[in-house]
Structure 1
Amino acid sequence: MAMALYAPGLGYYANSSTKFGQMPSSGSDFVTAPELTPMFGRTLAAQVAQALDKTGTDTVWEFGAGSGALAGQLLDALAALGTKVARYRIVDLSGTLRARQQLALAAHGDRVEWLSELPETMQGVVVGNEVLDAMPVQLLARVGGAWFERGVVKAPDADGWSWQDRPTELRPPVEVTGDHDYLTEIHPQAEAFMATLADRLTQGAAFFIDYGFPEAEYYHPQRHMGTVMCHRAHMADGDPLSDVGLKDITAHVNFTGIALAGQNAGLEVLGYCSQARFLLNCGLLTHMEQGTPAQRAMAAHLVHEHEMGELFKVIGFAVGAPWDAIGFAEGDRTHTL
């Protein structure tokens, strides 16, 4: 997964394909919330503004900024709210996406800066939309009652790739009841990222929006095929061994693991809830009322339960003592983690 997504010049996020956009005709593979409607960023800005105020910081950090759409929406909305943002720093591994972001954000001048890695120390409010799901996972397979790590090898008799299992001491973080064959993922890289972020964020807060579940749902006995999925031309498939480097590979987020990794490294959890509840708490309805019927219809995709509203979750963290974040004012599910 790491090679398929990030190998220089060849990986999906390292090549020049379009990736983000609303329609397959644009050459894109999938749409994220900021491309769907600017109301996403305008609404999220209310939480970012509160967090900047509560933490006494003036810098926004975005991880994996995609097309740059969310950065532009946040910068415009924060300015409209009268919130001072001295710097907007984007941490992105993709050189081709960085070029697209620089073009999209040129009007914001040198307030926007790009980094390829985390600095030793940082202060500010961190935002990550659909970042954790793109962090490489490890596959664990229970076959005939024994656990194996599932890896990738060169196909023995043909071009391409094949799966291969090897015995392992690795296990899911909770016991998966039953004795049926079972495929799932563990997320050491995403959890290590949270620990590193917690170590280096000396003042501020962080908010991550992504699709996933708490641990009890993630490792439910009936979820026996895992969550790895690929996306290309707005179509989904479950075969990461085909068209390697030409399509996105993702896995759902285990939000319990993310919360524990942050907590164990010193962060405080501000809240955890569905994307729908978070955006409604932050004032999405007001933005929708001010929009056209077509704009309201697009924004509704963000909160409809059968679309992005329930599958996507938001988790927030703070450095130091927690405070009442507006995004979690109602519908907080931290107790389910």
Structure 2
Amino acid sequence: MNLALYYPAKGYYMGGSQKFGEQGDFITAPETSDLFGFCLARQCAQILEGDDDLLEFGAGSGILASQILFELGRLNKLPRKYYILELSAELQQRQKDTINKTLPELLDRVVWLSSLPNNFSGTVIANEVLDAMPAKRLIKKDNDFVELGVNCQNNKLMWQLLAPYRNDKMQLPIGVEQGYTTEVNERAMAWISSLDNFIDKGVVLLIDYGMGRDEYFHPQRGAGTLQCYYQHKANDNPFEHIGEQDITTSVNFSDIADQAKNSGFSVEGYATQAMFLISLGIDEYLLAEKDEKKRALLAQQVKLLVLPSAMGESFKVLTLSKNKQVELQGFKEQNLVYKL
């Protein structure tokens, strides 16, 4: 998964093909509607103070950064700097082009990083970042979980049973049948720990598709959560279109929350994307639009963001804080931390 996604020049995220939007392989929330970024900006505005900065991990096409900067400017709450940590040179250039096209007057406020900053104070945003971190795939065999690796025979890649999986820090399903397959993401856990190393004071907003541990390890989820996306079609075969298709696994938000607490964070909020956006007044943007045609278009976009059959229920928002007390508006209508 790591090689297929991140191998220099050949990996999916390191090549030059269009990945996001209608011309790519999948559509993210920022591509769906500007209102996603505007609502997120409202939450950031509540958190940002003084000389605070904002840091976005993996900024994709740069659309979310543009949306947030535009709305923060309108709210007179711009951060001192808007940092983007992006490893792909191709995506960095795409992000610069997007921001320069939409907000040229704010381009000098945006700084691209290739490594984590030091002594950070402010807000961290990671939208659909955790799901793209390479995971380990496990299968139940003889009352044990065995890691699934990759073998190559006759120039064909296939699954290969490796050694029994051993990591006391990772919880695994209990009482499931032979052949039950699932994933664990040690890389995501390490990434959460790394946040604590550079954040002095601030709030972390994690937006991704996933679920709590009970649902993640449900006995009926026997095929795991691994999914691939190629030209807007989903499949479960990572050995096709290598370097040309996205490979993801859903986020186990209980694991992330536990790791965050062990790393020194407080878990402030956990909600569906729908309730998070509703709490931040996505309907207010809709009502404020006077043009009937534009309002009808916005209404369709809002449905994609909040309806259970679209992104509303499958995507969640988990928020962490460190050395900062703030009652977050995004969890006014719903806070499911107790379910983690």
Common fold by TM > 0.5: yes
CA contact (8 A) 1:57 1:204 kept: no
Query: Of residues 215, 218, 221 in structure 2, which corresponds to 1:217?
Result: 215
Q: What is the 5 A alignment of 1:54-69?
A: 56-69=50-63
Matching residue of 1:249? 247
Give the 3-state SS of the residue equivalent to 1:102 in structure 2: helix
Matching residue of 2:33? 37
Using the TM superposition, give the Cα deviation of residue 16 of structure 1 relative to its aligned residue in structure 2, in angstroms. Answer: 0.2
**Aligned partners of 2:316 and 2:275: how far apart in 1?**
9
**Aligned partners of 1:333 and 1:72: how far apart in 2?**
30
Tell me which amino acid in the other structure corresponds to 2:116: L
Matching residue of 2:144? 146
**Aligned partners of 2:187 and 2:144: how far apart in 1?**
24
Matching residue of 2:7? 7
Q: Deviations over 1:195-226 (max 9, x none)?
A: 00012101111101000001111111111100
Q: Deviations over 1:164-201 (max 9, x none)?
A: 01221436604321333200001100010000001210
Matching residue of 1:97? 91
Give the 3-state SS of the residue equivalent to 1:29 in structure 2: coil
Query: Of residues 282, 307, 310 in structure 2, which corresponds to 1:307?
Result: 310
**Aligned partners of 2:310 and 2:81: how far apart in 1?**
34
Query: Of residues 91, 113, 120 in structure 2, which corresponds to 1:122?
Result: 120
Aligned-CA RMSD value: 1.3
Matching residue of 1:50? 46
Are positions 1:282 and 2:280 aligned together? yes
**Aligned partners of 2:41 and 2:78: how far apart in 1?**
12
Query: Of residues 244, 249, 272 in structure 1, which corresponds to 2:270?
Result: 272
Q: Deviations over 1:42-93 (max 9, x none)?
A: 111110100113xx54211000100000000000000111113221000011
Give the 3-state SS of the residue equivalent to 1:17 in structure 2: coil
**Aligned partners of 2:208 and 2:165: how far apart in 1?**
29
Matching residue of 2:339? 336
Are positions 1:316 and 2:319 aligned together? yes
Tell me which amino acid in the other structure corresponds to 1:111: R
**Aligned partners of 1:57 and 1:215: how far apart in 2?**
37
CA contact (8 A) 2:51 2:80 kept: no
CA contact (8 A) 1:57 1:203 kept: no
Q: Percent identity?
A: 38
Using the TM superposition, give the Cα deviation of residue 8 of structure 1 relative to its aligned residue in structure 2, in angstroms. Answer: 0.4
**Aligned partners of 1:225 and 1:290: how far apart in 2?**
45
CA contact (8 A) 2:120 2:201 kept: yes
Unaligned runs of 5+ in 1: none
Q: Deviations over 1:266-289 (max 9, x none)?
A: 111110000000000011010122
Q: Across the two proteins, how many residue pairs are aligned to each other?
A: 329
Tell me which amino acid in the other structure corresponds to 1:330: E
**Aligned partners of 2:123 and 2:165: how far apart in 1?**
38
Matching residue of 1:133? 131
Bigger Cα displacement from structure 2, 73-82 vs 179-188 = 179-188
Unaligned runs of 5+ in 2: 290-294
Using the TM superposition, give the Cα deviation of residue 321 of structure 1 relative to its aligned residue in structure 2, in angstroms. Answer: 4.8
Q: Deviations over 1:136-182 (max 9, x none)?
A: 1001111343321001122x1x2231110122143660432133320
Query: Of residues 255, 262, 279 in structure 1, which corresponds to 2:260?
Result: 262
Q: With the length of structure 1 as denominator, give the TM-score of the two structures.
A: 0.94
**Aligned partners of 1:143 and 1:179: how far apart in 2?**
9
**Aligned partners of 1:133 and 1:57: how far apart in 2?**
31
Q: With the length of structure 2 as denominator, give the TM-score of the two structures.
A: 0.94
Bigger Cα displacement from structure 2, 173-182 vs 243-252 = 173-182
Matching residue of 1:76? 70
CA contact (8 A) 1:198 1:265 kept: yes
**Aligned partners of 2:165 and 2:55: how far apart in 1?**
37
Using the TM superposition, give the Cα deviation of residue 115 of structure 1 relative to its aligned residue in structure 2, in angstroms. Answer: 0.7
Using the TM superposition, give the Cα deviation of residue 330 of structure 1 relative to its aligned residue in structure 2, in angstroms. Answer: 1.9
CA contact (8 A) 1:207 1:315 kept: yes
Tell me which amino acid in the other structure corresponds to 1:177: G
